[in-house]
Chain A
Amino acid sequence: SQQGEEDPQALSIQEGENATMNCSYKTSINNLQWYRQNSGRGLVHLILIRSNEREKHSGRLRVTLDTSKKSSSLLITASRAADTASYFCATDVSSGSARQLTFGSGTQLTVLP
């Protein structure tokens, strides 16, 4: 089941601009994670935000979480051509020791030089 849904499906911006991607989910979560995937490659973990956190920063990345609206956003500031990739949110709704993630369908970001 697809717990997370990203919006928009595709985003094209100029280098130097900020990129914002949104993720909505349906059930209560332990944490929400964002991953990046370059074309034809594996995913790379970017950032994790716990359900009791509202905002988190890592370098040029800023993630917010609104549990009342069941939504999260990923902001990439001062984008670069190398940021071109697909970005996925993944929700952790695991109970006990069995950790599972449910991934959304992703946002394809293109940063034009």
Chain B
Amino acid sequence: DGGITQSPKYLFRKEGQNVTLSCEQNLNHDAMYWYRQDPGQGLRLIYYSQIVNDFQKGDIAEGYSVSREKKESFPLTVTSAQKNPTAFYLCASSPGTHEQYFGPGTRLTVT
């Protein structure tokens, strides 16, 4: 999992509540990413950021929001507008070369 931390490992929320997932890296990487993984599926890109104070929507950005105020941090907010938020969320960073380094993930359950 390298120098990327995600907290908490498990998160439970009631439907209708916003929730923020933390992602911190000490690898001095410029680019950071958020993915969603559903059971038995691959990863789908939610948002990504190449530099501080800049971020772009991925394939499934609806119902999510992000911020990138510091190079080390890229928090993801799952809003009440996300229709099916229960999933495994993975954060990654990249030094600008091609490979990505992943955090351990946060499993979000919304009931």
Mark A1-21 against chain B: 1 for CB-CB distance below 8 A, else 0.
110100000000000000000
Mark A29-61 against chain B: 1 for CB-CB distance below 8 A, else 0.
011010100001111110010000000000000
Cross-chain contact B100 with A103 (CB below 8 angstroms): no
Cross-chain contact B48 with A42 (CB below 8 angstroms): no
Cross-chain contact B102 with A44 (CB below 8 angstroms): yes
Note all chain A residues with C-beta closer than 8 A to B88.
40
Cross-chain contact A100 with B42 (CB below 8 angstroms): no
Q: Which residue of the partner chain B has the closest CB to A43?
A: B102
Q: Which residue of the partner chain A has the closest CB to B1?
A: A42
Cross-chain contact A2 with B42 (CB below 8 angstroms): yes
The yes or no answer to A97 lying at the interface (CB within 8 A) is yes
Note all chain B residues with C-beta closer than 8 A to A97.
50, 96
Please measure, in the bound complex, the distance between the C-alpha atom of A105 and the C-alpha atom of B42, giving whole angstroms. Answer: 4
Among the listed B41, B56, B100, B105, which residue makes an inter-chain contact with A101, where contact means beta carbons less than 8 Å apart?
B100
Cross-chain contact B100 with A45 (CB below 8 angstroms): yes
The yes or no answer to B98 lying at the interface (CB within 8 A) is yes
Note all chain B residues with C-beta closer than 8 A to A2.
42
Please measure, in the bound complex, the distance between the C-alpha atom of A43 and the C-alpha atom of B44, giving whole angstroms. Answer: 13
Cross-chain contact A105 with B40 (CB below 8 angstroms): yes
Cross-chain contact B90 with A43 (CB below 8 angstroms): yes
Please measure, in the bound complex, the distance between the C-alpha atom of A41 and the C-alpha atom of B104, giving whole angstroms. Answer: 5
Interface residues of B (CB under 8 A from A): 1, 4, 31, 35, 40-45, 48, 50, 56, 58-59, 88, 90, 92, 94, 96, 98-105, 107
Interface residues of A (CB under 8 A from B): 1-2, 4, 30-31, 33, 35, 40-45, 48, 88, 92, 97-106
Other 18 A-B pairs with CB < 8 A, given A2-B42, A35-B102, A98-B50: A30-B98, A31-B98, A33-B99, A42-B4, A43-B90, A43-B92, A43-B102, A44-B102, A45-B99, A48-B98, A99-B94, A100-B48, A105-B40, A105-B41, A105-B42, A106-B40, A106-B41, A106-B42
